[in-house]
């Protein structure tokens, strides 16, 4: 699998995890202190997954920009700086 293919698969997994956690948080009605701790942990995990998703998407965008820049340089005979 290519680097971008791996990223796409990972992004999809992260997004699925985010969706699952959001559903769990929205439907939860914690009554005990333990259930409340679990829900707080879910909020933490949701934030972590969202951050990882954002980082991976940013890296993907940077790679795509680099590829476009290389193509532009090739087409215009520009030297890389």
- The CA radius of gyration of the chain, in Å to the nearest whole number, is 20
What is the CB neighbour count within 10 angstroms for residue 21? 19
Query: CB-side exposure of 70: number of CA atoms within 13 Å?
Result: 6
Of 50, 52, 6, 53, whose CA–CA distance to 25 is shortest? 50
Q: Which domain holds residue 40?
A: 3-79
Give me the residue label for tokens 């009554």: 31
Of 9, 17, 19, whose CA–CA distance to 27 is shortest? 19
The structural domain count of the chain equals 1
Sequential pLDDT tens for the chain (81 residues):
566 678 889 999 999 999 999 999 999 999 999 999 999 999 999 999 999 999 988 888 888 888 888 888 888 876 555
């Amino acid at each position: 699998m290519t680097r971008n293919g791996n990223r796409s698969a990972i992004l999809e997994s992260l997004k699925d995890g985010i969706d699952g956690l959001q559903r769990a948080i929205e439907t939860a009605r914690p009554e005990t202190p333990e259930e409340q701790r679990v829900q707080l942990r879910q909020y933490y995990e949701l934030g972590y997954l969202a951050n990882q998703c954002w980082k991976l998407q940013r890296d993907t965008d940077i790679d795509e920009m680099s590829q476009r820049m290389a193509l532009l340089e090739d087409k215009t005979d520009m030297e890389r700086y």
